[in-house]
């Protein structure tokens, strides 16, 4: 079963390809994705790597966490599932005190 890893504190010049190459030395990489800003397409300084199996993912964590990659000390750990965030609710819910008669 594939294991997804979080990779933090990446250089803003890190690419998907360079991230994949870094992790390939520890096993088969299913995917490597550097997170990018939606508006500017600039790196957000973190990414995710999906390794083919848990053993390879663990080897990568042990070997790479706290090491220097592209002049930055990176953080590597198992990615946590994304939490559902409540959507903000706008309008209609509260009266706010306007239009009250005394």
Residue 39 in domain = yes
Residue 9 in domain = yes
CATH code, domain carrying 68: 3.30.70.330
Concatenated DSSP letters of 20-76: HHHHHTTS-EEEEEEEE-TTT--EEEEEEEEESSHHHHHHHHHHHTT-EETTEE-EE
Quote the domain boundaries for residue 64.
3-76
Q: Write the pLDDT tens digit of every residue in 34-71.
A: 999 999 999 999 999 999 999 999 999 999 999 999 99
Task: With cut-offs at 50, 70 and 90, classify the pLDDT of residue 81.
Answer: confident
Question: Rounded mean pLDDT of 3-17?
Answer: 97
Q: Are 80 and 23 in contact (CB under 8 A)?
A: no
């Amino acid at each position: 079963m594939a294991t997804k890893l979080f990779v933090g504190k990446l250089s803003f010049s890190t690419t998907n390809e360079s991230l994949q190459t870094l992790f390939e030395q520890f096993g088969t990489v299913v995917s490597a994705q550097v997170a990018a800003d939606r508006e500017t397409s600039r790196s957000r300084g973190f990414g995710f790597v999906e390794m083919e199996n848990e053993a390879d993912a663990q080897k990568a964590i042990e070997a790479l966490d706290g090491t220097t990659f592209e002049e930055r000390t990176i953080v590597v750990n198992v990615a946590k599932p994304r939490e559902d965030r409540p959507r903000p609710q706008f309008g209609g819910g509260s009266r706010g005190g306007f239009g009250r008669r005394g």
